[in-house]
């Protein structure tokens, strides 16, 4: 088949950006990912849409923010009118396979075992499928890192190994077709099960502390202090903290090995995209795991692309990029129109050429960690944005944060009340508010505008900005009708009452409106 279009999307789980050697040398071995970076473009600053497993995947594979697509917490399925990139591509003749952790069906951590629409059923392999291959005793062993204290784990016992083998089989069988293949490793996420030599290679290793580990949360939001108190972290002597997790770091290098095995079989003419869903705080800011924070330790992720016609060994640092750009980038790579319903922009040109432009801002959100339990603080709504130099996080039920990432790369000094930074802070605040309105964030409202530090905010209004915002998903449903007259809508964003002028918070919002306006 001439002019084949093939793409392999590889992802890990809970691999923060500085757990990859080509981003920061820490003593962790990731030679295969480093080699991929040397053969493509490494994006210096990339961010998840939400630093939680399920919502992060929702942003990646639908091209819409978790708050909009319905999967705004673990255990919450995508809305039934939300289409994944697999559905969109397969409906346009591209073979699509998803092999590995899914976490988007509203079931438990392992999934429900059913292949979603648009993906090849023969290769569907979520974690429930894997567990069904094991005896009950082996299932228990597969879920405990203590297993490695008593026995060596065979390579082919791990989920990652079986995901890797299926991915290679798919590429071999479909080498003459257009295809989009997702290889979604659960590793290095706990229980960090891995074979030797990885299980023991970090036995005496300490992950080097960065200055964020000494952050005592003075001047930081109250919910972060409650979070830290859950393990008594704020009371610990930060000098005495040792970041030791031999199985996590061993599994990190094991995941790198598995990625290397997959990449060996990817044709030179195919595009490879690699990332992780989110990071891990690892004691930074007295915090642990992941949750309602926009710190780089948890929200910033590795992101590397090898485009068949792109630069080699290059670094893109002009702007931060976001997972929200993955779906439109994939659509453009396959030569397909980018649907209006997608909420990001393609960065395909930046994947080829590091002098190309990309969206200026990367947005991060958080609404809830888990629907089925409250071990992670319950409802903690956050909306955040960074332009690469500054970062603003609005924590709706707590205090807000603003950082100068150039002067304070470890986000220690909260400048939310600084008059020196008021103009930049307010500019990013307007960007958050505009995005929430333009992209139909269901949690939008005047309370995001009326922050204690925003002296020029409009008075609270019950009708807020007075807009109607309808959905444009016209590849799969009829164009929506105007509630006021029953006629086909001209523009999805419009004032609900015709005799009231539009209220735009910024020039960017007005330009976006006019760009889509249809007389």
Q: pLDDT class for 493, splitting at 50, 70, 90?
A: confident
The tally of domains found in the chain comes to 2
Mean pLDDT, residues 315-321 taken together: 97
Catalytic positions, please? 53, 103
What is the percent of the chain with per-residue pLDDT over 70, rounded to a whole number? 95
Helix or strand holding residue 235 (H, E): none
- What DSSP string describes 434-452? HHHHHTT-TT-SHHHH--T
Residue 398 has pLDDT above 50, yes or no: yes
For residue 453, being part of any structural domain is answered with: no
For residue 484, being part of any structural domain is answered with: yes
Residue 500 has pLDDT above 70, yes or no: no
Looking at 299, 329, 358, the residue that finishes a domain is 358
Looking at 341, 358, 375, the residue that finishes a domain is 358
3-class DSSP state of 287: coil
Question: CA 250 → CA 100, 164, 246, 293, 319, distances in Å?
Answer: 20, 18, 6, 26, 32
What is the rounded (10 degree) CA torsion for 262, 266, 270, 276? 10
Which regions of 139-200 does DSSP assign to beta strands (E)? 179-184
Best-predicted range by mean pLDDT (23-32, 372-381, 465-474, 480-489): 23-32
Sign of the C-alpha dihedral computed for residues 134, 137, 140 and 142 taken in this order: negative
**CA–CA separation, 508 vs 428, rounded Å?**
12
Looking at 358, 392, 409, the residue that finishes a domain is 358
**CA–CA separation, 483 vs 119, rounded Å?**
36
Tell me what pLDDT residue 505 has. 56
pLDDT tens-digit series, residues 214-257: 999 999 999 999 999 998 988 899 999 999 999 999 999 999 99
**CA–CA separation, 279 vs 78, rounded Å?**
23
- CATH at residue 106: 3.40.720.10
pTM above 0.75, yes or no: yes
Q: Is 453 exposed, middle or buried (0-12, 13-18, 19+ CB in 10 A)?
A: middle
For residue 418, being part of any structural domain is answered with: no
For residue 26, being part of any structural domain is answered with: yes
Q: pLDDT class for 175, splitting at 50, 70, 90?
A: very high
Mean pLDDT, residues 313-332 taken together: 98
Distance of CA 183 to the CA centre of its chain: 15
pLDDT tens-digit series, residues 8-36: 999 999 999 999 999 999 999 999 999 99
Question: CA 134 → CA 130, 202, 356, distances in Å?
Answer: 7, 28, 48
Average pLDDT of every residue of the chain: 94
Residue 145 has pLDDT above 60, yes or no: yes
Residue 501 has pLDDT above 80, yes or no: no
Furthest C-alpha separation in the chain: 74
For residue 405, being part of any structural domain is answered with: no
**CA–CA separation, 274 vs 106, rounded Å?**
25
Tell me what pLDDT residue 1 has. 47
Tell me what pLDDT residue 502 has. 47
User: In terms of residue numbers, what domain contains 482?
Assistant: 466-519
């Amino acid at each position: 088949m001439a002019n084949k279009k093939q793409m392999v999307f590889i992802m890990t789980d809970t691999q923060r950006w500085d757990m990859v050697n080509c981003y920061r040398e820490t003593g962790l071995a990731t030679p295969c990912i480093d080699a991929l970076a040397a053969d493509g473009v490494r994006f210096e600053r990339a961010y998840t849409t939400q630093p939680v497993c399920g919502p992060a995947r929702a942003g990646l594979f639908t091209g819409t923010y978790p708050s909009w697509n319905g999967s705004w917490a673990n255990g919450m399925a995508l809305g039934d009118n939300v289409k994944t990139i697999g559905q969109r591509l397969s409906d346009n003749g591209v073979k699509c396979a998803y092999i590995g952790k899914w976490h988007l069906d509203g079931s438990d951590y392992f999934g429900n075992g059913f292949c979603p629409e648009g993906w090849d059923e023969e290769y569907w392999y979520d974690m429930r499928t894997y567990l069904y291959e094991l005896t009950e005793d082996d299932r228990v062993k597969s879920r405990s890192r203590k297993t490695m204290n008593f026995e060596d784990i065979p390579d082919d016992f791990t989920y990652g190994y079986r995901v890797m083998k299926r991915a290679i089989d798919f590429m071999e069988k479909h080498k003459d077709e257009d295809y989009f293949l997702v290889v979604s490793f659960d590793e290095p996420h706990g229980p960090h099960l891995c074979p030797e030599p990885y299980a023991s290679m970090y036995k005496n290793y300490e992950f080097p502390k960065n200055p964020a580990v000494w952050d005592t949360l003075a001047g930081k939001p109250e919910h972060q202090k409650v979070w830290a108190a859950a393990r008594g972290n704020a009371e610990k002597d930060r000098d005495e903290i040792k970041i030791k997790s031999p199985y996590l770091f061993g599994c990190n290098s094991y995941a790198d090995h598995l990625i290397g095995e997959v990449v060996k079989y990817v044709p030179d003419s195919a595009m490879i995209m690699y990332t992780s869903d989110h990071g891990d705080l690892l004691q930074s800011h007295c915090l642990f795991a992941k949750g309602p924070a926009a710190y780089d330790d948890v929200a910033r992720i590795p992101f590397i692309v090898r485009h068949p016609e792109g630069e080699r060994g290059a670094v893109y640092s002009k702007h931060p990029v976001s997972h929200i750009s993955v779906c439109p980038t994939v659509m453009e790579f396959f030569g397909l129109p980018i649907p209006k319903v997608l909420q990001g922009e393609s960065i395909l040109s930046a994947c080829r050429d590091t002098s190309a432009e990309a969206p200026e801002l990367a947005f991060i959100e958080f609404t809830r960690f888990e629907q089925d339990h409250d071990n992670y603080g319950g409802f903690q709504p956050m909306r955040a944005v960074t332009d690469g130099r500054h970062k603003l996080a609005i924590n709706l039920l707590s205090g807000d944060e603003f950082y100068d990432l150039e002067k304070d790369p470890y986000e220690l000094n909260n400048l939310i009340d600084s008059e020196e930074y008021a103009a930049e802070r307010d500019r990013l605040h307007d960007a958050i508010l505009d995005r929430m309105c333009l992209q139909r964030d269901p949690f939008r409202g005047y309370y995001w505008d009326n922050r204690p530090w925003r002296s020029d905010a409009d008075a609270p209004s019950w009708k807020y900005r007075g807009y109607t915002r309808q959905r444009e998903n016209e590849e799969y449903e009829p164009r929506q009708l105007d509630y006021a007259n029953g006629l086909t809508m001209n523009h999805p964003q419009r004032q609900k009452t015709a005799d009231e002028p539009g209220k735009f918070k910024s020039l960017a919002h007005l330009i976006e409106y006019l760009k889509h306006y249809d007389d």
